[in-house]
Structure formats: C-alpha cells, structure tokens
Amino acid sequence: MENTERVKPVLDVEEKPKWDQWLTLSLQHLFAMFGATVLVPMLVGLSPAVALISSGLGTLAYLLITKGQIPAYLGSSFAFIVPIITATQLGGPGAAMLGAFFAGLAYGLVALLIYKFGVSWLMRILPPVVVGPVIIVIGLGLAGTAVNMAMYENPLAENPAEFIYSGTHIAVALITLAITVIASIYFKKIFGLIPILIGIAGGYIAALFAGLVDFQQVLDAPWFAVPDLFIPFVDYTPAFSWTGIIIMVPIAIVTLSEHTGHQMVVSKVVGRNFLEKPGLHRSILGDGVATMIAAMIGGPPNTTYGENIGVLAITRIFSVFVIGGAAVLAILFGFVGKISALISSIPTPVMGGVSILLFGIIASSGLRMLIEAKVDFSHKRNLIIASVIMIIGVGGAYVQFTETFVLPGMALAAIIGIALNLILPGRRKEEETLFNEKNKAA
C-alpha cells in the first residue's frame, strides 16, 4: 500500500488542542455519535447511560491499544441489535452479554491471525459477495422493528394481534423521518453530521405537542445517578451457554469487514497508512477489547463510527486528544441522571421514524458494497451465494438444537454464505480483492 497523500491538518494526530478549544472540539464528536449510540440500547432493552459509559471506556481502550495513533471513536453497533434481542429472549440478558464478550474474543483471535499471517486470508473468507448480502439482511431484518415502533402504541406486544394502531404515532414518526432526511440532505458542516440527533430532537418536540411525552421523569431525576450497570458476579451469576455465543459471534463477520473499511477511510482522510502503522491487527484488537468491556458492564458491542470519521474530514482536526476528550465526556454523561431520564422519555414513534432511515441505510450499505466491488451477478456462483444468504436471513430460518440452543437466521445466513463461497467452484480473484483495491487507492 502506497503512502497516502498528506493533507494539511488543523491539528495533527499527536497534537493537543488549546485548553479553551478542547471542550468544544470534543463535544462535536460526542454529538456526532450520540444519537446512534443511545438508539441501539433503547431498541434492545439495555441502558442508554451504560452504553455511553461503555462507548467512552471502549474508545479510551482503543486509543491505548493503537498507541494513540488512530483518531477513531467507538459507539454502539447496529449489527448486533437482532442478535442481542434473540439471545436475550432465549437465554436472558446474561446470555447476550456472554455472547458479546466472546464476539470481542473473536476479534482478538482475528487480530492475532492477521499479525501472524497477514490479511489476505480474511478477504478470501469474507469477500463482498458474502458480506454485502449479510449487511442487507441486517438492515431488512430490522425493518419490522422500525415500522412497529412508528405505527403502534404498544410495539413491544408479543402477539401481533394485540398491536394498537395510532394515527398520532405514525404522524410523529413521519415528521421525525422528514426532519432527519432534511438535515441529512440540506444541512452543512457539523450540522450535516448529526442528522440523527437533529431528527430525534425535532421528533421529540413534535411528540411533546402531540401529548406523547412524559417530562415529569426528567424533572424528578437527580443530576447525579449511578446507571444500571449489569456486572457479572455482582448483578448476576454468569452461566456458560452456547446460545448467546452461537448467536452473537458470527456477526463479527460483518463488523470485521465494516471495521476494515473504516480504517481505509480514516487512512485516506488523515493521510497516513493506519493499516501498516500501528497495524490493522492493533485496530481490530482495540475494537474487540472495547466490545468485551461493554459486555462486562451491560452495554451493547462497540464499533468504529463513520459519523466521527466525517467530523475528522470536515474539521481536519485529527487529534487523538480530542477523541479522548469526547470519550471522557461520554462517561461523565452516563452518570448524569437527567440525561438518562431525558433519553428514556423519548417516545417510540420518534425512535421508529429515525430507525426507518437508519435501518434502510444499513441495507443500502450492503448494496453499495456489492456495487463498489463490481460483483457480477451474471455469474451463477455469485447469484446463488447472495440469494441464499438473503432469503435465509430475511426469511427468519433457524436451526434448533435444543429448547434454548438456537442458531438464528442472521447467523445461519452468514455461516452458509461463507461455506458456499469456499465450496462452490469458479471463484474469481477480482471479486475478492476489494480490500486490495481500496488499499491502493487509500
């Protein structure tokens, strides 16, 4: 990989900001990740305050492991939404956290293998024709969740026959969606990087006028409050179960590919080859450790955030001290009771309106990967792999070994996709080299 062309930074990676600017610069990154990071725990029944804390702790661990050389912020991963819900339903929250912890261990194993053998083997296992459809499955698999939150007064009802349709809810959801779309298209600079946060704020105001907001809990909440941490051997006794592991670990297939892509983009933005120094293995290890930290305190798995990469590109402030400042602020925010109460008071149609766009973007990202990799679907091999992955994943197929040991559709689709890619003849080398092509361009 050739060295990227250096851009002239306002603050380079190792430079500290001035004291009077540090807080403002770090707040920019906090706001960029805030909406998406708190949305994930709200969808899966975890504490948004704990998600903020795990996000901050994970980012600090990432910066330490990468020797303070990569300016990246880590927040809640959308890829794990369905697996967390499924694992919790089958084995309880402890099973979900155990699965998340082992997903982090999987990152560590991949990092070790990359350190020893390079990265080409990973690209052979996870070419775009496998990863792209799996990403599509993740987005489309969440479509029902988004629509239910947007339409119904009781979207969490177990029996669909019990859903209560609400015209007010769908109106608030569509207003939220409209504001988010407008912010995404028309807002510029830093405001263009926080459309989720702007959409939630606008939808919250609309919901307030519609009488859907109970603001009393915010008024009653204390300024300082210890969040609902979920710590093993303190809040629960962990019991080993294959359920959460089998459900959660295969999703690392997708997030590893996402992580690699983010590192390429950051390298291009900053003008340094982060895949060589400090190395992709350190970056992946940092991501894995961040996910393990989150699992140890009851937060959702972490991943590097594209929103914060956008902040880097616009501001040209690459300082890891600014990123670290945002991480510290996230941890502090997790202990502010009124912020936690405010997040909890957001009505479900507001989150549903934002989710319609977000989950659709996830699915579209899979399509984008297939297009950028120039995957040829006139080639029967590619058509078969993508078709099988999407139908199994979206259709909800699963394999049940015991009453509590179930391999759900998303994990099953990813595993079968990998197997088909390795088994079917006619693999084309050019369709496995998206990583190398981006490497040369970065």
Encode pLDDT of 74-103 as tens digits: 999 988 988 898 889 888 899 999 999 999
- pLDDT score for 223: 92
Q: Mean per-residue pLDDT for 35-59?
A: 91
pLDDT tens column, 230-247: 999 888 887 787 888 888
For 189-218, how does the pLDDT look when each residue is reduced to its tens digit (9 = 90+)?
A: 767 767 878 888 999 999 999 989 888 888
76 located within any domain: yes
Query: Is 12 domain-assigned?
Result: no
62-71, 147-156, 272-281: segment of lowest average pLDDT: 147-156
Q: Is the pLDDT of residue 20 over 70?
A: yes
Q: Which domain holds residue 223?
A: 19-441
370-394 residue pLDDT tens: 888 888 899 999 999 999 999 998 8
- Tell me whether residue 7 is in a domain: no
Give residue-wise pLDDT tens across range 344-359: 888 989 988 988 988 8
User: 442 pLDDT exceeds 50?
Assistant: no
4 belongs to a structural domain: no
Is residue 324 domain-resident?
Answer: yes
pLDDT higher than threshold 50 for residue 226: yes
What is the overall mean pLDDT for the chain?
86
How many independent structural domains does the chain possess? 1
Two tokens, residue 277: 């120094």
For the cut 70, the answer to whether the pLDDT of residue 1 exceeds it is no
> What's the chain look like in SS3?
CCCCCCCCCCECCCCCCCHHHHHHHHHHHHHHHHHHHHHHHHHHCCCHHHHHHHHHHHHHHHHHHCCCCCCCCEEECHHHHHHHHHHHHHHCHHHHHHHHHHHHHHHHHHHHHHHHHCCHHHHHHCCHHHHHHHHHHHHHHCHHHHHHHHHECCCCCCCHHHCCECHHHHHHHHHHHHHHHHHHHHCCHHHHHCHHHHHHHHHHHHHHHCCCCCCHHHHHCCCECCCCCCCECCCECCCCCHHHHHHHHHHHHHHHHHHHHHHHHHHHHHCCCCHHHHHHHHHHHHHHHHHHHHHHHCCCCEEECHHHHHHHHHHCECCHHHHHHHHHHHHHHHCEHHHHHHHHCCCHHHHHHHHHHHHHHHHHHHHHHHHHCCCCCCCHHHHHHHHHHHHHHHHCCCEECCCCCEECHHHHHHHHHHHHHHHCCCCCHHHHCHHHHHHHHC
Query: 11 lies in a domain?
Result: no
Q: Is the pLDDT of residue 430 over 70?
A: no
Query: Is residue 159 scored above 80 in pLDDT?
Result: no
Over residues 266-293, the mean pLDDT reads: 92
Among 146-155, 260-269, 283-292, 401-410, name the one with the lowest average pLDDT.
401-410
Higher-pLDDT residue of 419, 366? 419
